[in-house]
Amino acid sequence: MFTKSAAYYDALYSQKSYEVEAQTLHELIQQHSASGSHTLLDVACGTGGHIPYLSAHYEIEGLDLDDEMLKVARELHPHNLFYQGDMQSFDLGKQFDVVMCLFSSIGYTKSIEAMRRTLANFAHHTKTGGVVIVEPWFAPGEMKTPHIGGSFVDQPDLKITRMTHTTFEGNISTLHFHYLVGTPYNIDYFTEDHALGLFTRDEYLDAFRAAGLDVIYDEKGLMGRGLYIGKR
């Protein structure tokens, strides 16, 4: 996934409002959770951008499939526990007050069946009265086709251009990332392909309910993609 680009992830998303999102998350957790809200598992945590802003309220642990992302997360947050695992099948042997999966990472499950298994696993790791929070990827038809996007970093010793061409086949959107990375020592070019499933709102709601979660949908969410909040 982000194996080649993990070292540049935070630079590319430096404009992402982690602090604002964390405050919104905390308010939603306090509103919906009835389990005490002390422990939190961040699934598909990436480099752990929300951790500095949520640590005042929660004991946070992270899980991600990508070893390179976890290396960065462990360097940035040495006092937090991080696990390598697949969101569909990980088993930590304990439960949390909050299990969250943000930034559309749920889309990496690709199929409805895998997404349902993932939400069932999230519920399994959530205490009674706790909450599962999921930020979805786009639904079918919501993305312009064909689609081109760009991200740019202009720092004194780091220049990055990332162009993204998105293609669609069935319920799968594939983001073809092309990176041009410049430092004082070299200029590198590499590519990454990321395939994410496109699920409807009803498919998400049905999956939450099948996992035994009472679910509501927040239309706005953290960044305009919506947010599902399921209470166990």
Q: Are 207 and 215 in contact (CB under 8 A)?
A: no
What pLDDT is recorded for position 21?
Answer: 97
- Six-digit token pair at 208? 């939450």
Q: How confident is the model at residue 37 (pLDDT cuts 50, 70, 90)?
A: confident
> For residues 21 and 9, what is the distance between their CA atoms, to the nearest angstrom?
18
Q: Which domains does the chain have, with CATH numbers?
A: 6-139+199-231 (3.40.50.150), 147-197 (2.20.130.10)
Residue 60 predicted with pLDDT over 90: yes
Count other C-beta atoms under 10 Å from residue 36's C-beta. 10
> What is the three-class DSSP state of 143?
coil
C-alpha dist (Å) from residue 232 to 35, 109, 135 = 9, 22, 17
pTM equals 0.96
What pLDDT is recorded for position 166?
Answer: 96
Tell me which residue of 66, 3, 37, 28 sits closest to 215, measured CA to CA.
28
Q: How confident is the model at residue 84 (pLDDT cuts 50, 70, 90)?
A: very high
> For residues 161 and 177, what is the distance between their CA atoms, to the nearest angstrom?
10
What pLDDT is recorded for position 2?
Answer: 87
> For residues 64 and 73, what is the distance between their CA atoms, to the nearest angstrom?
10
